[in-house]
């Protein structure tokens, strides 16, 4: 029997060790609302103390502390308790509500932040139902393929990875912190393998191919031997690729193609640079706005952008301005409900409608540009007027900073995300007014093919290598080169090994991918013409 899911990278084989983490079966005696709130308050404090003690080891725990310390979480739990729920049930209900806000965001990275909310809430619940904090992974003491319902960042410190050859989970997201951590450890992981917990039994022999997204249960001896040879070959190739990851990638025909990193936090930037990134092609600034209870001020943003620039050194740091609105909401700024959020007030439209907030971010980025090779990238542009208004705001901010004697790079480059058909059709006009293009193939495919990429009913239409999409990419690249500006791809297509040759043939100059894909993408470039 074979299960499919979403994999990271790598292959493994071995006996399954199945770990079921299920606190729901633990008996719990509900008290009065006041008693339940006291239980929750104590559990919150215990969880925050634990996260604070771990924050020095992994940056993710600092982010988890902020979630646990968010008054909105406690208020949501308290509301459900006053509605008559027990403390554990109220935590579950609040978790589902907050998770939903992230799950509905049309951004794979931000969707994965729902896992962080879930992790924190389950830790709070665990403090109530499992006060002894029994380790569910304590039986990992010999080589195995770990199979579990889900793996969360808080589980990482509980696992002896010396014996873990591979991981299979029923839930999860390949852009989650866990996938990034396990990828850095060189452990192949398959997430979203639905029903694996029901079908895989303790001791079953598994062949896991995370690169291709499948796991096979109890194959015959011939299949096992064939898979073992493939695994040995893959390990050899992976060692070679990782060994060359810090070197530049040049095609067979002699063209050097920079491979940049996509990042959504300072920790992601560190990982990307250590993984061989030639710079950061997409630094999502949304995390700064979504992990707090109000808009971050200029100084707060500046400190993060400055640190990001320092981490990149001489390498380029491309900061995407706030891509919010429509389907991406902020908890402290309710947005009007829209019939079709993908065609609504999002990205640059939101920023231009809130120029005070926008100028605060622009000023912070400009100030950070003094400390590194920083670029500004504008999301969801669809009209020349949006670009011209933004460029005018940037000039306005420069004058203000000059008057206030702040240092910044006066020649900072400004580019745009190519995500809409209107920009494709007017690519030459946009290219004459901007310094670089970065094609967001996820949204561009969605708009060209008129297929919501989150809707399974139309998934057959959402094809990123469709001739119409590839022709659009070629047209954009041709216009960029006509005006002597570089063009990159930062969407999922950039990390698809089978599509790299197509993108290079279309005229793409740079690729920007998640850290875990950098070595593989560079290797594919070296074998491309």
The predicted pLDDT at position 175 comes to 66
| 279, two tokens | 């710079």
Question: Which candidate in 9, 196, 397, 490 is catalytic?
Answer: 490
| 312 included as an active-site residue | no
Question: Which candidate in 177, 196, 207, 397 is catalytic?
Answer: 177
Please indicate whether residue 396 or residue 6 has the higher confidence score (pLDDT).
396
pLDDT above 70: residue 57: no
pLDDT above 70: residue 26: no
Q: What CA–CA distance (Å, rounded) separates 440 from 461?
A: 18
51 bridge partner residues: none
Q: How do 144-148 and 11-19 pair as beta strands?
A: parallel
| Average confidence (pLDDT) over 322-342 | 66
Largest CA distance in the chain: 75
| 433, two tokens | 């007014």
pLDDT above 80: residue 344: no
The least confident of 15-19, 222-226, 447-451, 494-498 is 494-498
Q: pLDDT tens digit string along 179-191?
A: 877 876 778 999 9
DSSP 204-228: -EEEEETTTTEEEES--HHHHHHHH
3-state helix, strand, coil in the chain (%, to 5): 50, 15, 35
DSSP structural state of residue 106: S
The least confident of 56-60, 222-226, 272-276, 325-329 is 325-329
* Most confident option among 1-10, 212-221, 387-396: 387-396
State residue 375 phi and psi, 5-degree precision: -125, 155
Average pLDDT, the chain: 88
Q: How crowded is residue 72: how many other Cβ atoms within 10 Å of its Cβ?
A: 13
CB neighbour class for 132 (10 Å; exposed up to 12, middle 13-18, buried from 19): exposed
pLDDT above 80: residue 144: yes
Q: Are 149 and 177 in contact (CB under 8 A)?
A: no
The predicted pLDDT at position 107 comes to 63
Looking up tokens 């996820």, which residue turns up? 442
The predicted pLDDT at position 333 comes to 67
| Average confidence (pLDDT) over 395-404 | 98
H or E element: which one contains 45? helix 33-54
The predicted pLDDT at position 133 comes to 67
DSSP 390-435: HHHHHHHHHHHHHHTT----TT-EEEEEE-SHHHHHTHHHHHTT-S
Q: What CA–CA distance (Å, rounded) separates 147 from 189?
A: 10
Q: Are 215 and 199 in contact (CB under 8 A)?
A: no
- CA–CA distances in Å: residue 513 to residues 62, 297, 460, 488, 520: 25, 29, 24, 11, 10
| 195 included as an active-site residue | no
Give residue 318's pLDDT band: very low, low, confident or very high (50, 70, 90).
Answer: very high
Q: How do 279-284 and 259-263 pair as beta strands?
A: parallel
Q: pLDDT tens digit string along 446-499?
A: 999 998 876 768 878 989 999 999 999 999 999 999 999 999 999 889 988 889
The predicted pLDDT at position 412 comes to 98
169 bridge partner residues: 148
The predicted pLDDT at position 420 comes to 95
pLDDT above 70: residue 147: yes
DSSP 292-315: SSS---HHHHHHHHHHHHHHHTTS
Q: How many helices (H) and strands (E) does the chain have?
A: 22, 16
Residue among 210, 229, 208 at smallest CA distance from 218? 208
* Most confident option among 147-161, 218-232, 386-400: 386-400
Looking up tokens 């299979």, which residue turns up? 168
pLDDT above 60: residue 134: yes
Q: What CA–CA distance (Å, rounded) separates 257 from 255?
A: 6
Q: What CA–CA distance (Å, rounded) separates 24 from 43?
A: 17
């Amino acid at each position: 029997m074979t299960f499919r899911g979403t994999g990271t990278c790598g292959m493994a084989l071995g006996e399954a060790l199945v770990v079921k983490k299920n606190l729901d079966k633990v008996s719990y005696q509900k008290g009065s609302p006041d008693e339940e709130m006291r239980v929750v308050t104590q559990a919150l404090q215990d969880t925050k103390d634990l996260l604070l003690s771990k924050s020095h080891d992994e940056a993710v725990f600092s982010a988890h502390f902020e979630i646990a310390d968010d008054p909105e979480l406690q208020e949501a739990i308290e509301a459900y308790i006053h509605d008559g729920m027990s403390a554990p049930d109220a935590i579950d209900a609040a978790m589902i509500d907050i998770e939903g806000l992230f799950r509905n965001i049309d951004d794979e990275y931000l969707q994965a932040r729902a896992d962080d909310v879930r992790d924190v809430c389950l830790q709070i619940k665990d403090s109530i139902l499992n006060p002894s904090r029994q380790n569910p992974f304590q039986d990992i003491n010999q080589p195995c393929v770990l199979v579990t319902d889900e793996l969360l960042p808080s589980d990482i410190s509980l696992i002896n990875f010396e014996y873990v050859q591979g991981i299979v989970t029923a839930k999860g997201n390949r852009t989650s912190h866990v996938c990034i951590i396990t990828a850095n450890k060189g452990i192949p992981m398959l997430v979203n393998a639905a029903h694996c917990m029901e079908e895989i039994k303790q001791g079953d022999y598994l062949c896991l191919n995370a690169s291709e997204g499948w796991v096979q249960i109890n194959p015959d001896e011939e299949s096992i031997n064939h898979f073992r040879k493939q695994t040995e070959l893959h390990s050899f190739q992976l060692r070679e690729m990782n060994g060359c990851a810090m070197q530049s990638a040049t095609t067979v025909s002699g063209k050097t193609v920079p491979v940049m990193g996509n990042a959504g936090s300072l920790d992601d930037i560190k990982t990307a640079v250590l993984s061989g990134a030639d710079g950061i092609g997409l630094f999502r600034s949304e995390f700064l706005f979504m992990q707090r209870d109000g808009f971050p001020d200029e100084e707060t943003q500046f400190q993060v952008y400055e640190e990001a620039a320092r981490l990149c050194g001489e390498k380029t740091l491309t900061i995407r301005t706030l891509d919010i609105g429509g389907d991406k909401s902020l908890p402290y700024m309710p947005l009007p409900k829209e019939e079709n959020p993908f065609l609504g007030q999002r990205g640059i439209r939101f920023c231009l409608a809130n120029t005070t907030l926008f100028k605060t971010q622009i000023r912070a980025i400009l100030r950070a540009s003094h400390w590194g090779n920083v670029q500004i990238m504008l999301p969801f542009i669809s009209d020349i007027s949006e670009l011209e208004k933004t460029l005018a705001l940037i000039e306005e901010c420069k004058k203000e900073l000059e008057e206030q004697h702040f240092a910044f790079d006066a020649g900072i480059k400004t580019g745009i995300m190519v995500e809409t058909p209107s920009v494709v059709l007017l690519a030459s006009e946009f290219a004459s007014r901007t310094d670089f293009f970065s094609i967001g193939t996820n949204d561009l495919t969605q708009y060209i093919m008129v297929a919501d990429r989150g809707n399974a009913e139309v998934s057959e239409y959402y094809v990123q290598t469709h001739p119409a999409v590839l022709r659009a990419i070629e047209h954009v690249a041709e216009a960029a080169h006509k005006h002597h500006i570089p063009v990159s791809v930062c969407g999922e297509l950039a990390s698809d090994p089978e599509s790299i040759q197509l993108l290079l043939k279309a005229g793409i100059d740079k690729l920007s991918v998640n850290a875990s894909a950098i070595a593989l993408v560079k290797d594919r470039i070296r074998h491309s013409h």
